Amino acid sequence: METTKPSEQRVAVGDGKTQLLCETYIKIKPPMSEIIKETYSAEITDYTVFNDQVLVKGIIDHTFYYQHPHGIKAQDDENGDNGKERGSNSGEYQEEKVDEFKCLDGWGNLVNFYGGIVHFHRQFFEFTGNVEIVGVIPGDVCTGTAQITHFDLFEATELEDTGLISGGLQTFKIDVALTATR
């Protein structure tokens, strides 16, 4: 007859939540005319437990999709050219010549799109924060999540002569929720 060892049961110590305010400066090249979409993912990478509080560290993956009007001016000029550039020797309008683009695994043909071309900017950065959990002591185990919220606050800080945005300040919140067990 074999004897089995009973599984070790963990006892919940408590839960804690906090919100962190983060700001990041984004340098945009080529400059943009508008934001298309943003994606965020946050991961808690480390916990340090003190008496009644937990220090969390994590990494944020932020991707910023934006539109650049290649071959198109940002604003209508005084002559009513509807924002298109004139060819140097003719009175006709022409788009900037771009036939191919480099993909991660190969090449592709560029589809003619009169609103501009969508670019992206990806950045990784670290965050830290403090979460209060009454009764937690060093040696307790913590698990938790980090969620990015309210990331639609973008303030343009650098403008080009064409009116396109070349830099800005992105502000968002991180909601951190932890559970401590012993």
Q: Which of 43-47, 60-64, 132-136 is predicted with the least confidence, judged by mean pLDDT?
A: 60-64
Check if the beta carbon of residue 132 is closer than 8 Å to that of residue 13: no
pTM above 0.75, yes or no: no
Among residues 21, 61, 54, 58, which one has the least CA distance to residue 43? 58
5 CB-near residues (< 8 Å, 6+ apart): none
Q: Region 31-50: what's the mean pLDDT?
A: 92
Per-residue confidence (pLDDT) for residue 69, from 0 to 100: 82
Token couple for 32: 């943009």
Query: How would residue 84 be classed by pLDDT, with cut points 50, 70 and 90?
Result: very low
CA–CA distance from 139 to each of 51, 130, 142, 153, 179 (Å)?
Answer: 10, 17, 9, 39, 14
Do β-strands 165-181 and 12-32 pair in parallel, antiparallel, or remain unpaired? antiparallel
Q: Region 149-166: what's the mean pLDDT?
A: 89
Per-residue confidence (pLDDT) for residue 71, from 0 to 100: 61
